[in-house]
Structure 1
């Protein structure tokens, strides 16, 4: 999450939606940025409003992504940590000592099919619909951008906040990522559709 009190703005950071790139660029453009120490950086809107009810009066934005593509991004991150640790890269080894979630996925799920069919049952964060990050019973995000149109949607946020646009400096780029369509079997495709039915309905995504 990212908060600018000067601009009365709250950004919701959903995992695997380009959020790190967005956060870095907004932080530089906004100037005054703060976080809520008690909240995880991927905390949903409902949790943030529990901690700071006054944020309901702020302009609230976040980004989402096609669920099938998003799950491939999750898996590619797992592969990077696994392969880096196998090569003995110290930063990956150190991270896996601290990140029990990634370590357990690597230990128990050797391939993408197992990750989709089984890891999603074991780890709640992998099956939480994105719409649940953006909505509460009393307050919804004012603007929901899409990772697929990240730059143009982020420009919309800049315009709304009166910020000067600067070219994006992307992070966590995965140039070797395959077309997500090629990785799914009928079973894994259906599993994602089942898990993220709320996202498919809310954001009109299709396979």
Structure 2
């Protein structure tokens, strides 16, 4: 999550949706304005304390966390935006990312099918690297009653175009997004699925698919 009081925006960062590139581009606006120094000091104190004092929002905090913590008039006045991604594509991206960055998490897992079965095994203990992208994207944009509480939902599939819209809305220059954490050697996501694993992902992310209009074939 990235908050800029000067430019009046809140970026809700869902894992594996292009958010690292968005965050890298917008980070320079984070500490601008009269509240910049207190926010910077709070961030550093939180890091020094091992995140024990809760002085900043976690990287992948949900919108409801900001709504609960910020004054209502401040939250309501922010331009709140998020990016989402086709759930089937997201799982392939997650597989390649973990295999590259944290291979020990996938010890004994050789194929994408094994990855999906491990990830959605209800008997397996929770693991941050596996389960951050197991959460529903829908939960990042709604309150406890299921009401949408963000202003703009961008899509990974139109990342630059939607980011341009965001830049126009918050009054900053348009800029080409860097491509951070690009996966190497991966094919179209559909090629990694069997009928069974496609069904497993579709069932788990049914609410995301309904809310954001995604399909397996497009």
Q: TM-score, normalised by structure 1?
A: 0.81
Residue number in structure 1 paired with 2:153: 144
Matched, 1:106 2:106: yes
The 4+ residue runs of structure 1 with deviation greater than 6 A are: none
Matched, 1:206 2:215: yes
Residue number in structure 2 paired with 1:23: 23
Aligned partner (choices 129, 132, 135) of residue 125 of structure 1: 132
Gaps of at least 5 residues in structure 1 are 84-102
Matched, 1:135 2:142: yes
**Which has the higher mean CA deviation after the structures are superposed, 193-202 or 19-28?**
19-28
Residue number in structure 1 paired with 2:59: 41
Residue number in structure 2 paired with 1:168: 177
Contact 1:3 1:10 in 2 (8 A): yes
Q: Which has the higher helix share?
A: 1
Q: Aligned equivalents of 2:133 and 2:179: distance in 1?
A: 24
Report the secondary structure of 2:61's partner residue: coil
Residue number in structure 1 paired with 2:75: 56
Provide the aligned length of Structure 1 versus Structure 2. 187
How far residue 5 of structure 1 moved from its aligned partner, in angstroms, is 0.5
Contact 2:142 2:150 in 1 (8 A): yes
Contact 1:116 1:188 in 2 (8 A): yes
Report the secondary structure of 2:10's partner residue: strand
Structure 1 pair 51–185 and aligned structure 2 pair: CA distance change class (3 A): same
Report the secondary structure of 1:20's partner residue: helix
Q: Aligned equivalents of 2:187 and 2:132: distance in 1?
A: 23
| RMSD between superposed Cα atoms in Å | 2.2
Q: Aligned equivalents of 1:154 and 1:135: distance in 2?
A: 21
Gaps of at least 5 residues in structure 2 are 44-53
Q: Aligned equivalents of 2:106 and 2:148: distance in 1?
A: 37
Instruction: For residues 30-76 of structure 1, give each alpha carbon's deviation from its aligned partner in whole angstroms, at most 9, with x where no partner exists.
Output: 66376774532001111222232445211100000000000101100
Q: Aligned equivalents of 1:60 and 1:187: distance in 2?
A: 36
Report the secondary structure of 1:14's partner residue: coil
Structure 1 pair 81–27 and aligned structure 2 pair: CA distance change class (3 A): closer
Report the secondary structure of 2:120's partner residue: helix
Contact 2:10 2:80 in 1 (8 A): yes
Report the secondary structure of 1:60's partner residue: strand
Q: TM-score, normalised by structure 2?
A: 0.77
How far residue 82 of structure 1 moved from its aligned partner, in angstroms, is 5.3
Residue number in structure 2 paired with 1:78: 98
